[in-house]
Amino acid sequence: MSSYADIILPLALPKRTYTYSIPESILDIVKPGVRVEIQFGRTKVYSGLVEKVHNTAPDYKVKPIVSVLDQVTVVSPEQFKLWNWLAEYYCCSLGEVMAAALPGHMKLSSETRIVRNEAYGDDFSSLNPDEYLIAEALHIQEEISVDDARKILNKKTVFPVIQSLINYGVLFLREDLQEKFKAKKISAIRLGEPFASKRELLKEVFAELQKKERQLEILMSFLVLEKEEPFVRKFALLQKADVSDSSLRTMIKKGIFEQYDQDVSRLGGYEDELAEADVLSTQQSVALVEIEKQLHEKDVVLLHGVTGSGKTRVYLELIKKVMEEGGQVLYLLPEIALTSQMISRLQKTLGNEIAVYHSKINTNERVEVWKAAFSGKPVMLAARSGLFLPFTKLKLVIVDEEHDPSFKQFDPAPRYHARDTAIYLANLYGAKVVLGTATPSLETWQNAQTGKYGLVDMPERFGGLNLPEISTVDLRQQLKSGLMKSVFSTPLLENIEGAIADKKQVILFQNRRGYAPMLECQVCGWNAECKNCDVSLTYHKQTNRLRCHYCGYTESPASTCPACGSGKIVLKGFGTEKIEDELKLFLPNARIGRMDLDTAGSKSGLSAILNDFEECRVDVLVGTQMVTKGLDFENVAYVGVLGADGLIKFPDFRSGERTFQLLTQVAGRAGRKHEQGRVQIQAFDPDHPIIKEVLKGDYKAFAERELKERFEFKYPPFYRLIQISIRHKDPEKVKIAAAFFGRTLREKLGERVLGPVIPNIARVRSYFGQDILVKLEKSTSVISAAKNLIKHTSELAIGKTGFSQLIVVIDVDPM
Ligand code: ADP
Ligand code: ZN
Ligand code: ZN
pLDDT at 362 > cutoff 90 = no
Atom of ligand 1 nearest to the CA of 309: 3
pLDDT score at 601 = 73
Amino acid at 25: S
How far apart are the CA of 309 and the centre of ligand 1, in A?
A: 6
How far apart are the CA of 570 and the centre of ligand 1, in A?
A: 46
- Sort strands 300-305 and 432-437 into parallel, antiparallel or unpaired: parallel
CA-wise closest residue to 761 among 540, 574, 530: 530
> Residue of the nearest CA to atom 18 in ligand 1?
310
Residue among 283, 313, 316 whose CB has most ligand 1 atoms within 8 A, to mutate: 313
Atom of ligand 1 nearest to the CA of 312: 6
Highest mean pLDDT among 10-14, 92-96, 105-109, 365-369: 92-96
Q: Which ligand is nearest to the Cα of residue 401, counting in written order? A: 1
Q: How would you class 709 by CB atoms within 10 Å of its CB: exposed for 0-12, middle for 13-18, buried for 19 or more?
A: exposed
Which pLDDT band, with edges at 50, 70 and 90, does 276 fall under? confident
Q: Range with the lowest mean pLDDT among 252-266, 379-393, 651-665, 740-754?
A: 252-266
Which pLDDT band, with edges at 50, 70 and 90, does 104 fall under? low
Kindly state the average pLDDT of the residues 649-678.
92
How far apart are the CA of 605 and the centre of ligand 1, in A?
A: 26
pLDDT score at 173 = 63
Q: Which ligand is nearest to the Cα of residue 532, counting in written order? A: 3
> Residue of the nearest CA to atom 15 in ligand 1?
310
Q: How far apart are CA 510 and CA 580, in angstroms?
A: 10
How far apart are the CA of 461 and the centre of ligand 1, in A?
A: 8
Q: How would you class 68 by CB atoms within 10 Å of its CB: exposed for 0-12, middle for 13-18, buried for 19 or more?
A: middle
CA-wise closest residue to 661 among 702, 632, 623, 621: 702
Across all residues in the chain, what is the average pLDDT?
89
Q: How far apart are CA 301 and CA 790, in angstroms?
A: 34
Instruction: Give the model confidence (pLDDT) of 453-464 as tens digits.
Output: 999 999 999 988
Atom of ligand 1 nearest to the CA of 458: 3
From residue 493, give the alpha-carbon distance in Å to each of 475, 580, 581, 642, 739.
13, 13, 14, 11, 53
- Sort strands 505-509 and 636-641 into parallel, antiparallel or unpaired: parallel
pLDDT at 598 > cutoff 90 = no
How far apart are the CA of 119 and the centre of ligand 3, in A?
A: 28
How far apart are the CA of 129 and the centre of ligand 3, in A?
A: 10
Show the DSSP H helices in 375-489 as ranges. Answer: 418-429, 442-449, 475-480
How far apart are the CA of 8 and the centre of ligand 2, in A?
A: 56
> Residue of the nearest CA to atom 16 in ligand 1?
310
How far apart are the CA of 378 and the centre of ligand 2, in A?
A: 63
pLDDT score at 376 = 93
> Residue of the nearest CA to atom 6 in ligand 1?
310
pLDDT at 150 > cutoff 80 = no
Looking at the chain, the whole-number percentage of residues with pLDDT higher than 90 is 63
How far apart are the CA of 514 and the centre of ligand 3, in A?
A: 15
Q: Which ligand is nearest to the Cα of residue 565, counting in written order? A: 2
CB atoms within 10 A of CB 523: 14
How far apart are the CA of 524 and the centre of ligand 2, in A?
A: 4
pLDDT score at 363 = 59
pLDDT score at 390 = 94
pLDDT at 371 > cutoff 90 = no
The larger pLDDT score, comparing residue 783 to residue 137, is at 783
Highest mean pLDDT among 75-89, 112-126, 336-350: 75-89
Atom of ligand 1 nearest to the CA of 306: 3
How far apart are the CA of 61 and the centre of ligand 1, in A?
A: 63
Q: Range with the lowest mean pLDDT among 8-22, 119-133, 385-399, 484-498?
A: 119-133
> Residue of the nearest CA to atom 20 in ligand 1?
310
pLDDT at 184 > cutoff 70 = no
Residue 470, strand partner residues: 679
> Residue of the nearest CA to atom 10 in ligand 1?
308
pLDDT score at 264 = 60
Residue among 339, 462, 676 whose CB has most ligand 1 atoms within 8 A, to mutate: 462
Residue among 312, 331, 400, 437 whose CB has most ligand 1 atoms within 8 A, to mutate: 312
CA-wise closest residue to 766 among 551, 526, 552, 555: 551
pLDDT score at 243 = 84
* Cβ < 6 A, ligand 1 pocket: 278-281, 284, 305, 307-313, 462, 632, 672-673
Which pLDDT band, with edges at 50, 70 and 90, does 452 fall under? very high
Q: Which ligand is nearest to the Cα of residue 279, counting in written order? A: 1
Kindly state the average pLDDT of the residues 43-59.
86
pLDDT score at 45 = 66
CA-atom Rg of the chain in angstroms: 29
Q: How far apart are CA 77 and CA 568, in angstroms?
A: 65
pLDDT at 46 > cutoff 90 = no
How far apart are the CA of 560 and the centre of ligand 2, in A?
A: 8
Kindly state the average pLDDT of the residues 201-219.
87
pLDDT score at 272 = 58
CB atoms within 10 A of CB 713: 11
The larger pLDDT score, comparing residue 542 to residue 340, is at 542
The residues, any chain, with a CB within 8 Å of residue 710's CB and separated by 6 or more, are 442, 653, 716, 717, 718
Instruction: Give the model confidence (pLDDT) of 462-478 as tens digits.
Output: 988 999 999 999 999 99
The larger pLDDT score, comparing residue 421 to residue 247, is at 421
Kindly state the average pLDDT of the residues 657-683.
93
Q: Which ligand is nearest to the Cα of residue 553, counting in written order? A: 3
- With H, G, I as helix, E, B as strand and everything else as coil, classify residue 728: strand
Q: Which ligand is nearest to the Cα of residue 567, counting in written order? A: 2
| DSSP per position, 439-451 | S--HHHHHHHHTT
> Residue of the nearest CA to atom 23 in ligand 1?
280
Length of the chain: 815
Q: Which ligand is nearest to the Cα of residue 527, counting in written order? A: 2
> Residue of the nearest CA to atom 26 in ligand 1?
278
Q: How far apart are CA 156 and CA 21, in angstroms?
A: 34
Q: Which ligand is nearest to the Cα of residue 668, counting in written order? A: 1
Q: Range with the lowest mean pLDDT among 111-115, 688-692, 715-719, 797-801?
A: 111-115
> Residue of the nearest CA to atom 24 in ligand 1?
278
How far apart are the CA of 403 and the centre of ligand 1, in A?
A: 19
Which pLDDT band, with edges at 50, 70 and 90, does 158 fall under? low
Which pLDDT band, with edges at 50, 70 and 90, does 718 fall under? very high
> Residue of the nearest CA to atom 17 in ligand 1?
310
Atom of ligand 1 nearest to the CA of 279: 23
Contact 659, 690 (CB under 8 A): yes
**Greatest alpha-carbon span in the chain:** 96
> Residue of the nearest CA to atom 25 in ligand 1?
278
Q: Give 3-state DSSP helix, strand, coil % of the chain, rounded to 5.
A: 40, 25, 40
Residue among 331, 632, 665, 673 whose CB has most ligand 1 atoms within 8 A, to mutate: 632
Q: Is the pTM of this model over 0.85?
A: no
Q: How many CA atoms lie within 13 A of 114 on its CB side?
A: 28
Kindly state the average pLDDT of the residues 264-273.
54
pLDDT score at 266 = 46
The larger pLDDT score, comparing residue 169 to residue 251, is at 251
How far apart are the CA of 269 and the centre of ligand 3, in A?
A: 42
Which pLDDT band, with edges at 50, 70 and 90, does 84 fall under? very high
Strands (E), 650-786: 678-683, 719-728, 753-757, 763-764, 767-777
Contact 83, 94 (CB under 8 A): yes
pLDDT score at 179 = 34
Contact 532, 765 (CB under 8 A): yes
pLDDT score at 177 = 30
Kindly state the average pLDDT of the residues 324-328.
96
Contact 173, 116 (CB under 8 A): no
Which secondary-structure segment (H or E) carries 634? none
Which pLDDT band, with edges at 50, 70 and 90, does 43 fall under? low
Q: Range with the lowest mean pLDDT among 167-176, 509-518, 649-658, 695-704?
A: 167-176
How far apart are the CA of 306 and the centre of ligand 1, in A?
A: 11
Atom of ligand 1 nearest to the CA of 311: 3
